[in-house]
Amino acid sequence: MIKSTYINLIQEYGVELSSSETLWKEIRTNYSQRKRYYHNIEHLEDLLDQLTSVKQEIKKWNVILFTLFYHDIVYKSTKKDNEEQSAILASNRMNEIGVSKKDIKHSYAQIIATKSHKENIDPDTNYFTDADLSILGRAPKVYQNYCHKIREEYSIYPKFLYNKGRKKVINHFLSMNRIFKTQEFYNKFEKQAKHNLNQELKTL
């Protein structure tokens, strides 16, 4: 489903099937890199499920799909500019596909927004960042599996360094008035997310 969603998306812009396959291969290859334990194709599939559940609320569905497919296309645990590099690559590909400059700029901003997950003046961006964070509010076993995968992605760092960085991330979310900015995601995930984060904090 995830592949067909992408192929159907870009064919709306007149991209031929052979070129569609090439563009999809780039996405699949990047998200299938060996050290991607969480930020992989499964993550994209989960995001698509979450966003589809609120599709009727999203004004620019195609833009948010481009954001979905490209938001983590560049991901290295040792780098701090993954979002910027992903946004640049997304803009280049969208330009090649023939997407309007306005929509390219919109998607670029949405990808950058995943760096802090703060409330945005654009409702669609809030839906995307909420979907991206929805893993925080899943059942405890699912959340623990997510924590394990994130630790694997950062396995290059010793425990004391990883724990220090992870605490900073957790406290960033717990300091927010609301983790989830849209009412739909807030109602569904907020309470469990705060519980999960506080429980993880105790283990670090």
pLDDT in tens, 80-125: 999 999 999 999 999 999 999 999 999 999 999 999 999 999 999 9
Average pLDDT, rounded, for the chain = 97
pLDDT in tens, 165-174: 999 999 999 9
Region 19-37: what's the mean pLDDT?
97
Question: Which residue range forms the structural domain that includes residue 68?
Answer: 2-203
pLDDT in tens, 150-184: 999 999 999 999 999 999 999 999 999 999 999 99
Per-residue b/e over 77-96, b at no fewer than 16 CB within 10 Å? beeeebbeebbebbbebbee
Total domain count for the chain? 1
Confidence class of residue 190 from pLDDT cuts 50, 70 and 90? very high
| Rounded distance between C-alpha atoms, residue 27 and residue 6, angstroms | 10
pLDDT in tens, 139-153: 999 999 999 999 999
pLDDT at 17: 87
DSSP 8-state symbol, 115? T
The CATH number covering residue 92 comes to: 1.10.1300.10
